[in-house]
């Protein structure tokens, strides 16, 4: 009988043994197929073991999962990094699913009116001329279409693009002229002003895509700020002889909790249509943070309260800077 060996550690592998007794890797007798790769990926990400189902609910016990992790009880619960990324993925997915139509429906009313005016008056000029001639055969119709166009244009407010001089653009020009022609005609100079105008135009052409793009980048910026916020905890608790990784895992659990609350907030906002649900995750996360710090770092209430206030203040500054950088990047890249 031909001997079989584990592909990972080359340990002898019995014929019908599904897993290697040495390293635990699944026995692979042939080259994996595409389906095998897909199954393995889904198993790694969306593993429906009991620990992956119960772990998110344990986040409602502030500080508990972080304590368990550093007590060495890691096999019982989902790894903090995997839990964070899966929760973020579901959070973004629910936001896009429940809000895509609402975002798209916020298309500016004036521009809807503008498009209607432009398409009707200018694209159907001949049809309108013929209709009026047939409707009123005994009246002079020469120039009536142009008069209607001028009337509509006069009653449409100019579009305010920028603050200051040369900031208002005629509706007809907004639809018909190129960006370069707009810049020349309305004297929109400077790289920043031109970027703002281009983004303004794109926002109104596809508001849903723009908001989704902005929101996704803000969510990722919050994710990437976790290591920075862990640095703040390292400074605040430098006398506790704790490693940076402890603060990092603590922040991972905080971020996961915020995104978890965000999933429910997206659903509630869809059914009750209240923008306050968007800030709910951060409010509840701030409330969660104090007992979590008290439980995990095991300091008195006055010390915890002081460090809680310092951490919140520092976090606001860092997140604001991240938000500003994200918006600047979106303005340039979108």
Tally of structural domains, the chain: 3
Interval 309-319: pLDDT, tens: 999 999 988 88
Residues 6+ apart with CB under 8 A from 203: 210
In a domain, 49, yes or no: no
State how far the Cα of 126 lies from the Cα of 146, in Å rounded to an integer: 11
Residue 46 has pLDDT above 50, yes or no: yes
Of 119, 153, 187, the residue that ends a domain is 187
pLDDT of res. 103:
47
In a domain, 50, yes or no: no
Return the higher-pLDDT residue of 252 and 7.
252
In a domain, 260, yes or no: yes
- Helix ranges, the chain (H): 34-45, 50-58, 64-70, 80-104, 109-123, 125-135, 144-154, 171-176, 179-185, 191-205, 207-224, 226-236, 244-272, 280-297, 301-333
User: 211 and 123 in one domain?
Assistant: no
pTM of this prediction exceeds 0.85:
no
Report the pLDDT averaged over residues 176-205.
74
pLDDT of res. 54:
84
User: 115 and 101 in one domain?
Assistant: no
In a domain, 202, yes or no: no
Question: For residue 119, what pLDDT band results from cuts at 50, 70 and 90?
Answer: low
- Domain of 136 in residue numbering reads as 109-187
């Amino acid at each position: 009988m031909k001997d079989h060996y584990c592909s990972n550690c080359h340990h002898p592998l019995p014929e019908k043994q599904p897993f290697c007794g040495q390293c635990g890797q699944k026995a692979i007798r042939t080259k994996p197929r595409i389906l095998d790769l897909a199954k393995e990926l889904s198993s790694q990400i969306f593993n429906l073991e009991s620990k992956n189902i119960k772990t998110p609910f344990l986040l409602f016990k502030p500080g508990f999962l972080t304590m368990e992790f550093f007590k060495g009880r890691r096999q019982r619960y989902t790894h903090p990094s995997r839990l964070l990324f899966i929760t973020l993925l579901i959070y973004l997915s629910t936001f896009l699913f429940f809000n895509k139509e609402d975002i798209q429906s916020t298309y500016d009313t004036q521009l809807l009116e503008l498009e209607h005016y432009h398409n009707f008056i200018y694209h159907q000029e001949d049809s309108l001329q013929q209709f009026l001639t047939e409707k009123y055969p005994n009246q002079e119709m020469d120039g009536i279409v142009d008069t209607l166009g001028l009337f509509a244009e006069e009653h449409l407010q100019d579009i305010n693009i920028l603050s200051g001089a040369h900031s208002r653009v005629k509706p007809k020009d907004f639809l018909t002229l190129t960006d370069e022609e707009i810049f020349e005609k309305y004297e929109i100079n400077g790289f920043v002003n031109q970027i703002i105008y281009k983004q303004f135009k794109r926002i109104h052409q596809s508001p849903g895509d723009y908001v989704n793009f902005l929101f996704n980048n803000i969510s990722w910026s919050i994710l990437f700020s976790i290591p920075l916020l862990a640095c703040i905890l390292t400074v605040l608790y430098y006398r506790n002889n704790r490693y940076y990784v402890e603060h990092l895992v603590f922040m991972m659990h905080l971020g996961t909790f915020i995104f978890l609350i965000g999933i429910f907030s997206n659903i509630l906002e869809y059914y009750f249509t209240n923008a306050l649900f968007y800030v709910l995750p951060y409010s509840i996360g701030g409330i969660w943070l104090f007992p979590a710090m008290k439980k995990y770092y095991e300091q008195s209430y006055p010390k915890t309260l002081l460090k809680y206030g310092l951490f919140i203040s520092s976090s606001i500054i860092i997140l604001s800077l991240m938000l500003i950088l994200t918006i600047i990047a979106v303005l340039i890249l979108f």
